[in-house]
């Protein structure tokens, strides 16, 4: 039986009042659940309450899903960064997509990810990384949303 590759992670560093945690996973649909679990586990270690953990887990799921489904990536990198005011979730892919956009999906069950991110977060967007078509899609939660970390 093939073993699931372990994600590469950093140590969850804290510098200048900012906590960071990043991990890399293969761009496979099975990585979405793993990304959600890694984010939740880190937020537990940081002392975040269940409301903010649930919100972050949902946002991580949506952003990682978009990177896996809508890009030609072989891997994705997810970073959580918490400072005094915000908790930022960023997912970097290897490119191949035109960039994220919200769309009217009507009655369809698929395609609502960015609508969910937009509803839950105080801000979100995408930035090109300067390496070909790779991009970082990010979302921020204010500490006042859910329970603060």
Provide the pLDDT confidence category of residue 75 given band limits of 50, 70 and 90. Answer: very high
Average pLDDT score over residue span 66-92: 93
In this prediction the pTM is: 0.79
Provide the pLDDT confidence category of residue 134 given band limits of 50, 70 and 90. Answer: confident
- For residue 111, pLDDT beyond 60: no
Average pLDDT score over residue span 98-113: 56
Cα gap 68→77, rounded to integer Å: 11
CA of 28: how far to CAs of 3, 5, 90, 123, 137, in Å? 14, 11, 17, 26, 17
Give 147: exposed, middle or buried? Use CB within 10 Å, 0-12, 13-18, 19+: middle
What is the pLDDT at residue 72?
A: 85
């Amino acid at each position: 039986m093939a073993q699931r590759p372990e994600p590469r992670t950093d140590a969850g560093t804290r510098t200048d009042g900012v906590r960071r945690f990043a991990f890399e996973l293969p761009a496979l649909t099975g990585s979405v659940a793993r990304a959600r679990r890694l984010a939740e586990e880190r937020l537990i270690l940081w002392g975040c309450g269940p409301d903010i953990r649930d919100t972050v887990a949902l946002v991580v799921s949506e952003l990682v899903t978009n990177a896996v489904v809508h890009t030609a990536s072989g891997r994705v990198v997810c970073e959580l960064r918490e400072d005094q005011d915000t908790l930022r979730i960023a997912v970097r892919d290897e490119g191949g997509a035109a960039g994220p956009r919200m769309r009217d999906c009507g009655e369809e069950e698929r395609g609502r990810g960015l609508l969910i991110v937009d509803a839950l977060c105080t801000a979100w967007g995408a930035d090109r990384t300067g390496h070909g078509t790779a991009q970082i899609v990010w979302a921020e939660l204010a500490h006042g949303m859910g329970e603060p970390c």
